[in-house]
Structure 1
Amino acid sequence: MVVKEGESAWTPAELKEVLDELHGQRAHSSEIVAHHESELDGLLRNSGDGAGQDQADVGASSFERDYEMTVLSNERDKVAQIDRAVARIEDGTYGVCESCGQPIGKMRLMAFPRATLCMTCKQREERR
């Protein structure tokens, strides 16, 4: 695994800690995805055509559907990021910035194990 200059190499214990964190996050996000898929399925089944509902009820139902879809999309993205991080650990590319190819840094990865960009590239991306 790649590390920044001045950082020590990844130890098996540190790598296990990161993998445990990723697996825990994945399990949690998978539960959220299952819950929100169920909620959204119920909302879509009971959406009807709005007949007999006033505008506030229709608006509330629409807002709730949009909220469920947003949460579901975000959590699915998080699961994909986690799967990608685990794959990068397995293939030895974990810790390399996907933008500039420089090391991301152990401290950043331990704080945010799904990181794919070094701090410089992430800041540049956020300014856009």
Structure 2
Amino acid sequence: MNDQNTAQNTFRYSDKALENFKQLILSKIAAARQDMESLLASVSNSENGGSDDGGAYQSLEDGSATLEKETMYQMAARQKQFINQLEAALGRIENKTYGICRVTGNLIPKERLMAVPHTTLSMEAKQKQ
């Protein structure tokens, strides 16, 4: 079992590389949270604002506003999911399994992790999906 642990350690990113990935992920989380808060604030503002002029166009405006709110909620939900995936990546950094493809067991290239820091699949595994 000790041989297996030693082999695992040679097939992972260094602590320094993991720290660099951690900083990248933390900055992406901060930006994603800011985007999500902005979207939710926009929805809140649109619910509180608006005029009560009445008139023939009111129902069209209501439908448009509803569609816009639904779209913003969906975008906020996607941001929340993205944040959750990034936070899961932080967990993998902590347990030193970050950057290891969950299908092949090989290291995911640094370039891919820089572009998609929450990925758990190498391009080889992703293309086979």
* TM above 0.5: yes
Among all aligned residue pairs of Structure 1 and Structure 2, give the percentage whose two residues are the same amino acid. Answer: 21
Aligned with 1:22 (options 14, 25, 28): 25
SS at match of 1:95: coil
**Partner Cα separation in structure 2 for residue 35 and residue 58 of structure 1:** 22
SS at match of 2:68: helix
Gap change, CA 1:102 and 1:12, over 3 Å in 2: closer
Gap change, CA 1:62 and 1:88, over 3 Å in 2: same
Gap change, CA 1:26 and 1:76, over 3 Å in 2: same
CA deviation vs aligned residue, 1:19-41 (integer Å, no higher than 9, x gap):
11100000001111111122223
SS at match of 2:128: helix
Please say if 1:43 is aligned against 2:59.
no
**Contact 2:104/2:125 (<8 A) preserved:** no
TM normalised by structure 2 equals 0.74
Per-residue deviation at 1:42? Answer: 3.2
CA deviation vs aligned residue, 1:25-65 (integer Å, no higher than 9, x gap):
00001111111122223334568xxx656243123202211
SS at match of 1:109: helix
**Partner Cα separation in structure 2 for residue 3 and residue 37 of structure 1:** 44
TM normalised by structure 1 equals 0.74
**Contact 1:104/1:118 (<8 A) preserved:** yes
Gap change, CA 1:28 and 1:3, over 3 Å in 2: farther
**Contact 1:22/1:82 (<8 A) preserved:** yes
**Partner Cα separation in structure 1 for residue 56 and residue 72 of structure 2:** 21
Aligned with 1:92 (options 96, 99, 106): 96
**Partner Cα separation in structure 2 for residue 46 and residue 84 of structure 1:** 37
SS at match of 1:29: helix
- Structure 2 residue aligned with 1:113: 117
List alignment gaps of at least 5 residues for structure 2.
Answer: 1-7
Aligned residues: 120
